[in-house]
Structure 1
C-alpha cells in the first residue's frame, strides 16, 4: 500500500473525542473540520476546529448519523480524510465505504473488518475458528433454571445498550423484548443473542494497533470491571488481575493478535474479554474503533494512539516490530451527568463550574505524573455549559498516571474530591467512594462491584448531613455578608432590631435530599468583625472569619472563603454563589451543591399526592398499564428513553391508575405529569 498523506481531517463526531482528535491533528500541522448539531453550536469542539459545518437539527439520526450530510461537509470544506471517533458512525461499514468511495482517506479499519465484527454472533464464530476462547450462544427454548442468570445482548453496537441480565425464566421474554427495543433505538438493529452470564467476571481488554503491512501490536491490556448498567465507569492499565496471574498476559496478547489476523485488521481496535479470577478468559467482542478509555494506554506506553491511526491510514508501517513496554500505572474515571442514588438517572441542565487541580495535560500524555483532563464541555463563571438530552451524559474523563497503582488511585481520588463541580449533579461522589474502597484498592473487583455489597457505599454522598448543614451555614454567612456589603451601613444586619440580636433564616435544597434551614444570628457586640454564632445538627458551629470575593458582582460565582469552628475544630470552606440561587461549597468535609430556596414556597409548584412526574426529559417508549388498572408499589408503569438509555417509571404506592398524561412517542420535560395513582392512603 502506498502512502496517502492527507492535509485536512474531518471528525464525524462531537464533544470530547472530537477535541482529542483535533489535538493530535494540530500537533501534526493538519487542518481540522468539525460538524455540529444545533444543540452543539456553542461547544468547545466547534470553536477549536479550523472549519465547522452545521448539521441542522438535534437528534443523532438527522445530524451525526446522516452520512450524506457528513460527506457533504467534507466536500464543502476540502477535507481529504475522515476520523469517526467512537460511537455514532464509527463502526458503520456503510459509512466507511462511502468515505472511501468519495475518494477520502478513512481513518479506521477496513469496511470488511467492520462487517466481520459488526454482528457479535458471527464474530464469535470467527473467533472460535481462530482459536480464541468463546462463550456458547444459548437458544431460548433450551434455557433452564440451572443455566440462569443469562445475558441478553445486542448483536450490533455496544456501550451497554440493548443488554439485559435475566435471573428468572419469567423475566426471559420481557428482558429480551426490552433489549430488542433498546438495540433498535440505539443501533437500528434489534438482533440479540443470549449467553451464559458470569456473575463475578472481570472485564479485560487488549489494545490493538495494526498496519497494512502485516504488523500487529498488542499494546498492553486494560481492566474495565467497574461498570454501571454494563457501561464502564473506571478503567485502568495495566490490569491488577493480569499482573497477578502468571502467564495470563501472554495468553491474552496471543488471543488478541489471533483475532486481528483472522479479520486482516488494521488501525486501532480493542479485543474485549470476560475473565475470572483463575485467569480464564472468553471473547466478548472486537471494537473496531478507538476506545473511550484509550488514554490509560497512552499514559503507560507514551504512545499517541490517534497519531498511529493517522500513520496507518496514510499507509505507513508501525514504527517497530513490537510496541513499547509498560511504564507505571494509569487510572481513568468517567464523570457523568447522572444521579447514582436514583438508578443513574441522567441529569440535564447547566454545569456552572468544572475545575480540577493538578492537571498537567489535556488530550495527550501525560509525560509527567499527574492528572490528564479530557473534557467535552467547559464551564466558567458567567459561561455555564449546557447538558442536553440528545447525547451521552459523559462530561469528562479524568486520568491519573503515577509510578504505582496505589499512587495513581490516590492521586485520582484526591483530584476528584477537590474538584469544583457546581450546578448539575454528577457521579463524582461515587467515583471517589469506589477509588477509596478497600476492595478496589486491593484490586478485588468484578463487573458486579456496583451492584453487590458495594452499592450502598458507592452511592453515599461524600458530605454527610452534618457536613451539608455546615456548608449551608457557610453559604448563609456569605449571603448575609453580600447583603450587608450593599447597604449604606454594612454593619446594620437584615432584620436588625433596636434591642436584641438580628436573625435571618436561609433555606437550601440539596439535590434529591431535604431542605436545610439555617438561622444566622448576627451578634451585635461583634458586628464590627461580622461575627455570627449558631448551632446546627447538634454541633456547636461558630464563624471565625469570612473573606468575600474581591471586586465581584453579587452571584458572580467567584469564591468567598468561610472559616468556622465545628465543635472546636477549625474548617475552611470555599463558597461560590451563582445567579438563580445556585451555590457550590467545597471543603474537606465533602463537596456540596445547594440551591437557595425562596422564603415562601410557590403553591403552583406543589405536586398532587399520587402524581408521578418525569424525573428527566426524554421520550416515552412504552406504556405498560391502562387507566383503571390496579398496581402495586414498584410495578413498572412506563419506560422513558433519555441520553440513549432506557429508564423505568414505577409505581410509588399501591392503588389504581386514574390518569395517564403521557403516551408512547411523547416528548416530555422534567416535571411533566406522567400518571396519577389513586391510593387508599392518599388524602382527599
Structure 2
C-alpha cells in the first residue's frame, strides 16, 4: 500500500479520498488553485501545494504542475478524482514516466474509451449491443444530415469526446438540424478541444442504467451491480439510485456480463462505469464507458458495504480485487441527490457567491453527506456549482424515499439560490414514489416539479418579521450597553414614541410584490398583522440563528439567517426568503435597466449572433455566454432593434453587465 498520495482534484471528491486514505494510514497531499487556498480539502490534507490561478486551465488542468507537486512532497501516487485530468491519457502516461502511480486505468484503456465513436466500434466488436447511429470520422455537415435522415428523427447529436451532457443536442425535426449541430460542435470544442460529434437514434422513453465495474492487474473483473440515473436535466444527472427499480434479475445479469466484457475488451484496471440505455422492452444499448470513479458511486457503496476508493488504492498498489463476483450482494436501497447552487426559477442558472448558512442532517447508517464546502465558503464561477451530495439508505425503496424527504427537510442553505426545493419536489412526487422513471422524467412532470413561485405564507412572513425585530432588539441592547447613556430613549428598539402608541411597519419584498407587516409593541411580544389577521408573536433568537418562536400560542423552532436586507427562514423543512425594504431607499433600481439585456451571471462571450441595427424577433438568439461549464443564450424579449453590442467573442463579462442595447417595437 502507498504511504503518501496526492489528490489532483478539489471539492467533495478530494475530501472523500482524504477520508479513506486517512483511515488506511496513508498521508495525503492536496493541490489547490489560488481561489481554493482555504478550501475544505486543503484544510483536511496533511500537506497542500498551490498550483496556479483560479481558472482550471491554469491550475487543476496543469498536469506538469501537479507532477511537480508530487515530486516536491514525495507522493508515490496521484488520485485524479473525477473531472479535470481523471480521463486524460496523456497525464496518466506522464505519471508513469515520472515514476508516480496513476490511480486509474492504463492510458491505453482511457484512449480506447475517450472517443465515443471509437469506443462504439470496439464495443460492437466485443458483442456489446449499440444504439443505431453514425460514429464515423467524416464530419461533413451534409453527410451528417443524410445520416440523421437514415437513422430517423428524433436523433441525438453528441460530442465524440468528453461527457457530462456537454455538446449534446436532441433534434426532433430536420429543419432544426443545422442549428443544433452547430451548437453541439461549438460546445464540444469549448469543453473538450474537439468538435467531432456522433449521431444516435433518440429513444423516446429510455432509462439510463449504468453498471459499476472493477478490474485488477491479475485478470479479475467484477460488476458491483447497477445504478439508475434516469432523472436528468440537460443530460446532467440529478438523482441516482441503486439498485435500479423494477430491473429483472436476468436483465441485471446480462447487463453486468456486457459491462465486464466491455472492460475486458480494453484491458481495463481500476474503477469504471459502463453506461447503457434501457428501453421499455428490456433491450439495452451501450452508451459510453467512464474510465474513472463516478460522482454517484456512494449509492453503490451503500448497497454493497464496500469502499470503492479503498478498492482503487489497493488495486493501484498492485493488489487483487478484495472480493469475487459471487461474494457481492445487494443489501437494501440507496438514493443520491445532487445539491447545486442554481436557480430553478431562472432556468437553473448556476449561482455564485457566499454560502452564508449551510446545515446538513446528521450523518449515520441511513444518511451520508459528501461535500467540499462549509458555511462561509464561496461558490466560484470557475468550478462546478455542486454544494453537496445527499445520500440515503434503507431496507427497501419506499423507506429510502421517506429517508430522502426527511434528509432534504433538514438541509439548509442561505446566501445563494439552490435546487433544494426542486429536489424535495422530486422526492415527494407521485411519479418518483412509484418509480415511473425515464430520461424525460423532469420534462414530463415539469408542472409539478417547477410550479410558479408561490408567495411566502403568513407563518413564514410572521417568523421573518419576528426574527428581524428580535435581532434589532439584541443589537440595540448591545449598543446601549456600550454607550454613554444606556437608558436613553433613543437607544430603545421597542417602537417608543413621545405621546403616541408604540407601533411600526416592516415592509418585505416577496418576489416582485411588497408586503407590509404593521405591528404594535407589547410588553410580552409583538402584535403583528399578517395575512389579514392579528397575532401575538414572541420568542428568543440565539446567536446561531435558532429562533424559538410562539405565534398565538403555537410553538415553532426555526432558523433565521440575516444577510444585509435578505431574510431567510427555515421552518418545517421549507425555506422562506424575503427582502427587507428600506423605506428611505430611492426608486426601484430595476428601472435603470430598461432597454438593456444583461448577463445573468459572470461568464465568457462565445458567440455574438447580431450586429448593431439588426431587426430581431421575440425569442431570437442574440448572444451566447459560457459560464460554469454551460452555455446560456440571451434572447430578444420582444420584436425590436439591436442598438449596440458591447462585447465581442472571447470577452469576459461580469454578472449584470450590459450585453446588448435593445429597443422594443418596430424600427
Structure 2 vs 1, CA of residues 503 and 580 (structure 1 numbering), >3 Å: closer, same or farther? closer
Cα displacement string for residues 408-452 of structure 1 (whole angstroms, at most 9, x for unaligned residues): 111111211232211101100010101111111111011111122
SS in 2 for 1:115: helix
Q: Is the 8 A contact 2:232 2:440 kept in 1?
A: yes
In structure 1, distance between residues paired with 2:415 and 2:501: 38
Cα displacement string for residues 158-198 of structure 1 (whole angstroms, at most 9, x for unaligned residues): 11111111122122111111111111111122111111111
Corresponding residue for 1:276? 279
Cα displacement string for residues 308-359 of structure 1 (whole angstroms, at most 9, x for unaligned residues): 0011111111123224201000000000111122221010011111112232
Deviation at 1:632, TM superposition (A): 1.8
Give the paired residue count: 644
Q: Is the 8 A contact 1:507 1:518 kept in 2?
A: yes
Corresponding residue for 2:482? none
Q: How does 1:557-636 map to 2 (within 5 A)?
A: 558-565=545-552, 570=554, 572=556, 574-588=558-572, 590-603=574-587, 605-606=589-590, 607-636=592-621
Deviation at 1:591, TM superposition (A): 1.2
The 10-residue stretch of structure 1 (136-145 or 615-624) with the greater mean CA deviation from structure 2: 136-145
In structure 2, distance between residues paired with 1:497 and 1:592: 36
Q: Is 1:75–2:82 an aligned residue pair?
A: no
Deviation at 1:498, TM superposition (A): 2.3
Q: Is 1:438–2:391 an aligned residue pair?
A: no
Q: Is 1:159–2:170 an aligned residue pair?
A: no
SS in 2 for 1:505: strand
Deviation at 1:483, TM superposition (A): 2.5
Cα displacement string for residues 441-469 of structure 1 (whole angstroms, at most 9, x for unaligned residues): 111011111122x11221237x83142x5
Q: Is 1:353–2:357 an aligned residue pair?
A: yes
Q: Is the 8 A contact 1:429 1:460 kept in 2?
A: no
Q: Is the 8 A contact 2:151 2:201 kept in 1?
A: no
SS in 2 for 1:175: helix
Q: How does 1:128-147 map to 2 (within 5 A)?
A: 128-138=124-134, 139-144=144-149, 147=152
Question: In the alignment, which of 503, 524, 527 is matched to residue 532 of structure 1?
Answer: 527
Deviation at 1:590, TM superposition (A): 2.3
Cα displacement string for residues 69-89 of structure 1 (whole angstroms, at most 9, x for unaligned residues): 111111111111001100011
In structure 1, distance between residues paired with 2:659 and 2:417: 23
Q: How does 1:183-582 map to 2 (within 5 A)?
A: 183-242=188-247, 245=248, 247-322=250-325, 323-360=327-364, 368=365, 370-379=366-375, 384-452=376-444, 454-460=445-451, 464-467=454-457, 469-485=458-474, 486=476, 488=487, 493-494=494-495, 496=497, 498-500=499-501, 502-509=503-510, 513-523=511-521, 527-536=522-531, 538=532, 540=533, 542-549=535-542, 552=543, 558-565=545-552, 570=554, 572=556, 574-582=558-566
In structure 1, distance between residues paired with 2:273 and 2:661: 47
Cα displacement string for residues 252-278 of structure 1 (whole angstroms, at most 9, x for unaligned residues): 111111111111111000000011122
SS in 2 for 1:172: helix
Cα displacement string for residues 17-51 of structure 1 (whole angstroms, at most 9, x for unaligned residues): 00011111101111101111111111100111111
Deviation at 1:659, TM superposition (A): 1.9
Corresponding residue for 1:364? none
Corresponding residue for 2:139? none
Q: How does 1:50-65 map to 2 (within 5 A)?
A: 50-65=46-61
Deviation at 1:246, TM superposition (A): 5.0
In structure 2, distance between residues paired with 1:630 and 1:86: 45
Deviation at 1:491, TM superposition (A): 7.5
Structure 2 vs 1, CA of residues 464 and 543 (structure 1 numbering), >3 Å: closer, same or farther? farther
SS in 2 for 1:135: coil
Structure 2 vs 1, CA of residues 439 and 273 (structure 1 numbering), >3 Å: closer, same or farther? same
Q: Is the 8 A contact 1:271 1:287 kept in 2?
A: yes
Deviation at 1:603, TM superposition (A): 4.7
Q: Is the 8 A contact 2:32 2:60 kept in 1?
A: yes
Structure 1 unaligned segments of length 5 or more: list them: 361-367
RMSD: 2.0
In structure 2, distance between residues paired with 1:649 and 1:466: 30
Structure 2 vs 1, CA of residues 492 and 186 (structure 1 numbering), >3 Å: closer, same or farther? closer
Structure 2 unaligned segments of length 5 or more: list them: 135-143, 478-486
Cα displacement string for residues 232-257 of structure 1 (whole angstroms, at most 9, x for unaligned residues): 01000000131xx3511111111111
Q: State the TM-score, normalized to the length of structure 1.
A: 0.90
Corresponding residue for 2:661? 676
Cα displacement string for residues 545-569 of structure 1 (whole angstroms, at most 9, x for unaligned residues): 31222xx3xxxx522233325xxx9
Q: Is the 8 A contact 1:329 1:402 kept in 2?
A: yes
Deviation at 1:475, TM superposition (A): 1.5
In structure 1, distance between residues paired with 2:441 and 2:345: 15
Structure 2 vs 1, CA of residues 548 and 157 (structure 1 numbering), >3 Å: closer, same or farther? same
Deviation at 1:681, TM superposition (A): 9.2
Q: State the TM-score, normalized to the length of structure 2.
A: 0.93
In structure 2, distance between residues paired with 1:335 and 1:492: 39
In structure 2, distance between residues paired with 1:37 and 1:466: 40
Deviation at 1:521, TM superposition (A): 1.2
